Amino acid sequence: MIKISSLLAAVGLAQLLTVSAYAQTEMALYPDRIPNAIQAGNQETSEKGYIKNVSKPTLTAFLPPAGTGNGAAVIVCPGGGYGGLVIEREGYRVAKELNKAGIAAFVLKYRLPSDRIMKDKAVGPLQDAQQAIKTVREKAKEWQVDPAKIGIMGFSAGGHLASTAGTHYDSSFIDNPQTTSLRPDFMILVYPVISFEGKIGHKGSSANLLGASPSAERINYFSNDLQVTATTPPAYLTHAGDDTVVPVSNSIRFYEALLAKGISADMHIYSQGLHGYPQTPSFEEWFGRCLHWMRVSGFLPAQ
């Protein structure tokens, strides 16, 4: 005979799994064909929270528990130099913390640039970011999201992708029959790659995205400090002064470009932190400052 306590425990576990499955739902980013794609075998690999060779992009929705959401949403773009995705540390973990603040989070597993799988690898990740924004905005009611509070967050090369989405939204690289706005309402950029110019550009990200010998026109187009306009969304930036992988000049240049166009921006530079914030600042420290900026900027309710 099954004990009542065991039965209740089993039911409770089933309910927990059901809630988890609902709260964390991975879906194909494109319902039909993937734009700009070349027919090629799927060579994706994953090890210890790091994914390589992404050719089939997905969006994983992390929704806050019922009754705790505040309407804000953030699309999260992990980094990895456009050669991989640090999807656990800079994706899923961040999404769960956003949920704790009542924010709906959507982790974007974007295509990694490759001539093997794309006709034009330079625009593949941007297509995926635009599709993610479009998807969240069109499903805002279903996911209980305010369509005017949809932001994008990116780390390192993911920060480059997020800032590209924020500066190139007027150029649609995807099918958009409903002419849904592709403009993120805000950007959160964490030790981001911004520029591909000169010494401050991250050589690995540039080579992976644009190739070994990109034209000056392409370098300028994807150096996002040069693409800021009066309608670029507001941004929060955080970086470390001792970052030897992606120089802090990237964030400083973008911040100055935003201010020059009258765009609201906030930036916090740590004297120590290196690239990726492996030890300092703590997650709670830098992430707390992001939430504070979202509150004072009106994207989150005041505490």
Q: How confident is the model at residue 257 (pLDDT cuts 50, 70, 90)?
A: very high
User: Mean pLDDT throughout 255-273?
Assistant: 98
pLDDT digits (tens, 9 = 90+) for 181-217: 999 999 999 999 999 998 888 899 999 999 999 999 9
Give me the chain's average pLDDT, please. Answer: 93
Sketch out the chain's domains with CATH numbers: 27-296 (3.40.50.1820)
18 CA to centre of own chain: 26
pTM of the model: 0.92
Residues 276, 156 contacting (CB under 8 angstroms): yes
- Average pLDDT estimate for 48-55: 97
Asked whether the bond before 177 is cis by omega within 30 degrees of 0, the reply is: no
Q: Is the pLDDT of residue 33 over 50?
A: yes
Q: Would you state the pLDDT for residue 109?
A: 98
CB-CB neighbours of 1 under 10 Å: 4
Query: Percent of the chain having pLDDT more than 90?
Result: 90
Which pLDDT band, with edges at 50, 70 and 90, does 3 fall under? very low
Bridging pattern class, strands 73-77 and 104-109: parallel
173 three-class SS:
coil
Contact predicate 235/265, CB 8 Å? yes
Q: What is the pLDDT of residues 59-68, one digit of tens each?
A: 999 999 999 9
* Interval 103-115 mean pLDDT: 98
φ, ψ dihedrals at 204, nearest 5°: -65, -45
Instruction: Work out the percent of the chain whose per-residue pLDDT is above 70.
Output: 92
Confidence label for 23 from pLDDT (cuts 50, 70 and 90)? low
Q: What's the whole-number mean pLDDT along residues 108-112?
A: 98
- 214 Cβ contact partners less than 8 Å away, ≥ 6 residues apart: 196, 206
pLDDT digits (tens, 9 = 90+) for 113-154: 999 999 999 999 999 999 999 999 999 999 999 999 999 999
